[in-house]
Amino acid sequence: MKKTLLTCTLLAACATTANAQSSVTVFGAVDLNLRYQSNDGAPNKKLMGTDGLNSSRLGFRGTEDLGDGLSAGFWLEAPMTPNDGNSIGLTFRRRSTVSLVSKRWGELRLGRDFTPTFWTRASYDPFGFNGVGLAGNVDPNGLAQPTYVRSSNSVGYFLPGGLGGMYGQIMVAPSEGAPNTKYYSGRLGYAGGPVDVSVAVSRQSLNGGANRFESWVVGGSYDFGFARLQGAYNHDRNDTGAGTTFRHWLLGAVVPVGVAEIHASYNKMDAGSGNGAKMAAVGGVYNLSKRTALYGTYSQLSNEGTFKQSVDFSYPAAISGGTPVTPGGKSRGLEFGIRHFF
């Protein structure tokens, strides 16, 4: 009788633990394409590329219900290069966080995560900051900063839902001994009906705090039903040496056509003194299902002055190796691929 009682007690404890764990999910995306690149001053390139529509990734996430509207969760997400079996090695540098979430008070998140300024930029890029059409192709400075896209050792807070469409986050990260990684940022936005608008600001310390890299971004979209118009403006300033200010305008649209979509954008970067870059991109997506899609994108980038940006930007740069462009020259890219979510 005692053994039976002990067994029942252990089973009940295990059941309680199992019920508290709401979910553990393995997820990801595999995105491969055939790509053609033509850069002034360099041989043409024909290659198999990745991340043309969405970033290839492998992730694990889970939540645990702690009761009274409180839950705990984790998120581990690693980039992949499926064209070569992930030769760069599997690390969770896309995201590695642990969270406490309250339905009333919001979310406290610790670890390596996307920055508020990057989220604002990517949200209004018709190409989702991927492929030969991504908005970052015209950026000579911002994406080179170690905390522009993601920040390690960060403490983040997210507003709860149910605030009449308002959303927002703040992020603080100490340098932890690494150069140029002390970071502060915040984002505030509103999404309701067809409208989505947001603004974000950030500051990153440079050279041990002697200099700063500051950014602010404002963007918005409006869904007319037959098309969703998107636009953004970001202003970056690096006060190292003489200091340089970068101004980036983005205007784009996503047009649904049955199970397909047309994506288009125009980007302009102005760094002053006759330096800058312009890029136009157009693409199509055909959704075979909710998880699988075929896509194609063409883009052309024109540099001005000393700029030598290319449409083959890849993050991290080690994936593509980068292709040089003659200062003031042009860069063109064409890719056709398939993306599958799991």
What's the token pair of residue 179? 């150069």
Dump pLDDT digits (tens) for 243-287: 789 999 999 999 999 999 999 999 999 999 999 999 999 999 999
Q: pTM score, two decimals?
A: 0.87
Q: Look at residue 92 in the predicted model and tell me its pLDDT.
A: 96
| Between residues 176 and 62, the one the model is more confident about | 62
Assign 322 a pLDDT band (cuts: 50, 70, 90). Answer: low
Dump pLDDT digits (tens) for 127-161: 999 999 999 999 886 667 888 899 999 999 999 99
What 235-244 contacts at long range (C-beta under 8 Å, 24+ apart), as own/partner pairs, is 236/141, 236/142, 237/212, 237/213, 238/141, 238/206, 238/211, 238/213, 239/206, 239/211, 239/212, 239/213, 239/214, 240/206, 240/207, 240/211, 240/213, 244/141, 244/271, 244/272
Q: Where are the alpha helices (DSSP H) in the chain?
A: 2-20, 116-123
Tell me what the pLDDT averaged over the chain comes to.
89
Assign 327 a pLDDT band (cuts: 50, 70, 90). Answer: very high
- The rounded percent of the chain whose pLDDT value lies above 70 is 89
Q: Is the predicted pLDDT of residue 188 greater than 60, yes or no?
A: yes
Dump pLDDT digits (tens) for 202-242: 999 887 777 888 999 999 999 999 999 999 999 999 888 76
Q: Is the predicted pLDDT of residue 319 greater than 50, yes or no?
A: no
